[in-house]
Amino acid sequence: MKTIVFLELIDSSLIETAHAATRAGLSYEFQIEDKGIKFAVSGYNEKLPFHVSQLPKGENICLVESFKPNDSYSVVENYYQCEPYSLKKSIILDTIMLILECPLTKTLEVEEQLGESVYFMSKDVHGILGFTIIVDTESTKYTTQYINNRVDEFLKYASDMLVNMSEQTFEEEKRRLIETKKCDDVKLDDEVDRNWYNEIVDEYYMFDRSKREIEVIEQLTIGEVNEWWKQHIFSDGEQNFRKLSLQVVARKNKDDLPKDKDLSFKFLECEDENQEKESRCFVKNITDFKNKL
């Protein structure tokens, strides 16, 4: 009941402030949920584009404790932010994903057995390219810091792998990628989704995308791929290395659960003293971190 009264007071106080937005076709609403209050804004205005914040150079780590009491798995999600979208840069990223996907799974999941599942995927966040590596691991076997370090080691191995790749092998990978771009739409739904969501909603309007992508792939060189990888993976000096590591650690004490009224994040200390001494920034306050971007 207190929450309902609180929301009514907020809603009343916003009537005058939000009048201009309401006239412009925007709307808002508050919803009471199990774990808090949800605030949703809807409507469309071409003058309000999405704004993507640029991560600072280097590595930032956010280490928090899981809310789930009976989940023994920890999760590490490493996001590598790269650069604004262009057709050629997106093709370079697709090529790298294709080349490294199998070696990543083989190394981290099969050989080192670091987790039950390993995911490697490219990202296009409102026009900003990047990629993500996610590892689910049992908390009793490995710490999230150890997993993060092993991912770093794999990326070093991947760098050597790309540098030493022969022209013949690279051409074979290009042909594989071209074949994936040639796939026809099986159903009408596929064609609608491809054109509506990928082109119209995302505002690219490239309805002959497959044809253009194949043309770029055919002209792509291994040197261009290596140069792009070097710029976005190595953190030497002026290189464009921007990484955010989100690490959710399983609870050690299953009985020590947060109260319903206290579901704030519990930030943890790094267990590896050597890692603390390295030039890595540990996020202790999400709001402060976002305000500095």
Ordered by start, the domain boundaries in the chain are 2-42, 58-291
- Pairwise pLDDT comparison (149 vs 203), residue with the higher score: 149
Q: How many Å separate Cα 178 from the centre of its chain? A: 25
Confidence grade of residue 89 (pLDDT, cut at 50, 70, 90): very high
The DSSP line for the chain is -HHHHHHHHHHHHTTTTTHHHHHTT-EEEEEEETTEEEEEEE---TT----PPPPPSEEEEEEEE-S-SS--EEEEEEEEEEEE--HHHHHHHHHHHHHHHHHHIIIIIIIS---SEEEEEEEEETTEEEEEEEEEEETTT--HHHHHHHHHHHHHHHHHHHHT--HHHHHHHHHHHHHHHTPPPSSHHHHHHHHIIIIIITT---TTHHHHHHHHHHH--HHHHHHHHHHHH--STT---EEEEEEEEPPS-TT-PPPTT-----B---S-HHHHHSSEEEPS-HHHHHHT-
For range 136-161, the mean pLDDT: 93
Q: Which two tokens stand for residue 255?
A: 């009985």
Lowest mean pLDDT across 9-13, 50-54, 108-112: 9-13
Residue 262, pLDDT score:
54
In the predicted model, is pLDDT for residue 212 greater than 90? yes
Cβ neighbours around 101 below 10 Å, total:
14
In the predicted model, is pLDDT for residue 13 greater than 90? no
Chain-wide mean pLDDT for the chain?
85
For range 42-51, the mean pLDDT: 68
Lowest mean pLDDT across 21-35, 113-127, 204-218, 221-235: 21-35
Residue 235, pLDDT score:
53
Task: Give the Å distances, CA to CA, from 38 to 41, 48, 50, 242, 273.
Answer: 10, 21, 20, 30, 38
Confidence grade of residue 21 (pLDDT, cut at 50, 70, 90): confident
pLDDT, tens digit, 9 for 90 and up, residues 236-265: 545 789 999 999 998 876 565 555 555 567
Residue 272, pLDDT score:
59
In the predicted model, is pLDDT for residue 133 greater than 80? yes
- Pairwise pLDDT comparison (119 vs 36), residue with the higher score: 119
Half-sphere exposure of 155 (CA within 13 A, CB side): 21
Q: What pTM did the predictor assign?
A: 0.79
Task: Give the Å distances, CA to CA, from 184 to 188, 195, 214, 216.
Answer: 11, 13, 14, 19
In the predicted model, is pLDDT for residue 44 greater than 70? no
Residue 287, pLDDT score:
85
Q: Which fold has domain 58-291?
A: Cytochrome Bc1 Complex; Chain A, domain 1 (3.30.830)
Percent of the chain with pLDDT over 90: 48
Confidence grade of residue 30 (pLDDT, cut at 50, 70, 90): confident
For range 12-29, the mean pLDDT: 79
In the predicted model, is pLDDT for residue 110 greater than 80? yes
- Pairwise pLDDT comparison (153 vs 32), residue with the higher score: 153
Residue 264, pLDDT score:
66
